[in-house]
């Protein structure tokens, strides 16, 4: 980001002067462990150098003024600390207003409004957590501007609370946690049941992470995300009749096979099989990465996609086309959908000398099958959300 450029843009919108501060919150990609976070399992995300930039200044009144470079046609959107009710018509500003609301709900008093400009380079609706990035950006701004005494884990939980309750998306903690706690050149091995975590250095040697964006837009509210979560919750209640467990993440593959008959619906049986097996794959992937076995890590990524396709049924033609085309390319160690699914992105590990041919060939095959282009982003693993100026 050209920090001076966006500060100048801020001043042209809102006027110069005052304590103007700049912030950044990354996007995230999950390497493996999909739809496990709300099932008490493990996830393995990392923060990216792509993300959301923000410039903000406290006001003396209670007015809120929002401007997004990405939605510049909407101009400056005005609101107030006295008008924090959710309204679908508020669009992208609901993610910011929800954080103000959540801070108040958690006892952090905010009595002055803000002028805010944001600009992001995360593809909107891609599954790289643009919404969580905006939420954590706003939370970091509030913590810094008000000097609130909270660590980044609490900050992430407040942002999850905002998304769950205010924006009515029943997401797990992974997105907000990885954006708030990211570390350059490391993935986060996170146990979502108790938020214990370890950093795992990503040593790809002569390989790179490549994100492929399907350009099929999706929003979690408009998808079957909440339906999948309800299917797992219902199945967990059935399993609790015979097991003393608090989450599906406590089951091994073997333990699940012994008790699976208690789940009466064949569709929900598949959902649980994915949740359990994906958690076990994530445990194995962490072990493989610590041993430097990137080949095995890639194999587990492939198996993850198959499970998401066949058992969890959240991939769809676009993501399957991208992944299956990737599997056919030389130099690809692993490829899978990432994020909630139903559109969005894939993540692949590709040998460095094959990246250009990989992007060219997969792009052509995708266009032939789908009728519009995918976009490709070789990415780097970055640090957590923070103040930058």
> Tokens at residue 59, please?
């006001």
* Stretch 89-97: mean pLDDT: 94
| Catalytic machinery residues | 175
User: Residue 249: what are its φ and ψ, rounded to 5°?
Assistant: -65, -10
- Beta strands 77-80; 21-30: pairing state: unpaired
Assign 188 a pLDDT band (cuts: 50, 70, 90).
Answer: very high
Provide the H-helix boundaries in 81-151.
Answer: 93-105, 130-146
How far does the chain reach from its first CA to its final CA, in angstroms? 12
What pLDDT was estimated at residue 204? 87
Query: With 60 as the cut, is the pLDDT of residue 248 above it?
Result: yes
pLDDT tens for each residue of 1-30: 566 788 999 999 999 999 999 999 999 999
Please count the residues of the chain: 389
* Stretch 94-110: mean pLDDT: 97
What pLDDT was estimated at residue 169? 85
For residue 269, count CB atoms less than 10 angstroms from its CB and return exposed for 0-12, middle for 13-18, buried for 19 or more: middle
What pLDDT was estimated at residue 341? 87
pLDDT tens for each residue of 138-167: 999 999 999 999 999 999 999 999 999 999
Average pLDDT of the residues of the chain: 94
* Stretch 351-375: mean pLDDT: 97
Assign 224 a pLDDT band (cuts: 50, 70, 90).
Answer: confident
Query: With 90 as the cut, is the pLDDT of residue 127 above it?
Result: no
* Stretch 115-127: mean pLDDT: 84
Query: With 70 as the cut, is the pLDDT of residue 222 above it?
Result: no
Domains and CATH numbers, the chain: 3-201+383-387 (3.30.230.10), 207-379 (3.30.70.890)
Query: With 60 as the cut, is the pLDDT of residue 272 above it?
Result: yes
pLDDT tens for each residue of 256-266: 999 999 999 99
* Stretch 134-141: mean pLDDT: 98
What pLDDT was estimated at residue 223? 61
What pLDDT was estimated at residue 339? 86
What pLDDT was estimated at residue 126? 67
Query: With 60 as the cut, is the pLDDT of residue 136 above it?
Result: yes
What pLDDT was estimated at residue 2? 63
Residues 322, 180 contacting (CB under 8 angstroms): no
Residues 322, 342 contacting (CB under 8 angstroms): no
């Amino acid at each position: 980001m050209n920090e001076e450029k966006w500060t100048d843009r801020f001043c042209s919108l809102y006027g110069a002067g005052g304590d103007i501060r700049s912030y950044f919150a990354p996007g995230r990609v999950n390497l493996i462990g999909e739809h496990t976070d709300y099932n008490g399992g493990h996830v393995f995300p990392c923060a990216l150098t792509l993300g959301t930039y923000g410039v903000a200044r406290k006001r003396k009144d209670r007015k809120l003024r929002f401007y997004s470079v990405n939605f510049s046609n909407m101009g400056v959107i005005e609101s107030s600390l006295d008008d924090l009710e959710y309204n679908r018509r508020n669009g992208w500003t609901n993610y910011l207003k929800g954080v103000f609301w959540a801070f108040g709900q958690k006892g952090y008093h905010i009595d002055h409004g803000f002028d805010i400009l944001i600009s992001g380079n995360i593809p909107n609706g891609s599954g790289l957590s643009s919404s969580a990035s905006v939420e954590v950006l706003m939370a970091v701004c509030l913590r810094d501007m008000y000097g609130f005494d909270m660590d980044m884990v609490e900050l992430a939980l407040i942002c999850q609370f905002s998304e769950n309750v205010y924006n009515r998306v029943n997401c797990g903690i992974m997105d907000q946690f990885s954006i708030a706690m990211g570390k350059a050149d490391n993935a986060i091995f996170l146990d979502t049941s108790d938020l214990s975590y370890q950093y795992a250095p990503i040593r790809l040697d002569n390989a790179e992470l490549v994100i492929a964006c399907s350009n099929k837009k999706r929003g979690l509210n408009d998808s079957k995300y909440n339906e999948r979560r309800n299917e797992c919750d219902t199945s967990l209640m059935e399993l609790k009749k015979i097991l003393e467990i608090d989450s599906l993440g406590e089951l091994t593959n073997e333990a699940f096979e012994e008790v699976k008959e208690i789940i009466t619906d064949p569709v929900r049986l598949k959902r649980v099989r994915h949740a359990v097996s994906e958690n076990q794959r994530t445990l194995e992937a962490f072990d493989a990465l610590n041993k430097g076995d990137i080949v095995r890590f890639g194999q587990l990524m492939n198996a993850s996609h198959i499970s998401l396709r066949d058992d969890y049924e959240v991939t769809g033609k676009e993501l399957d086309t991208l992944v299956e085309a990737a599997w056919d390319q030389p130099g690809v160690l692993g490829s899978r959908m990432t994020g909630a699914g139903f559109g969005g992105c894939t993540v692949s590990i590709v040998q460095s000398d094959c990246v250009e041919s990989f992007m060219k060939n997969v792009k052509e095959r995708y266009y032939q099958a789908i009728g519009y282009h995918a976009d490709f982003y070789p990415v780097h693993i970055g640090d957590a959300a923070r103040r930058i100026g």
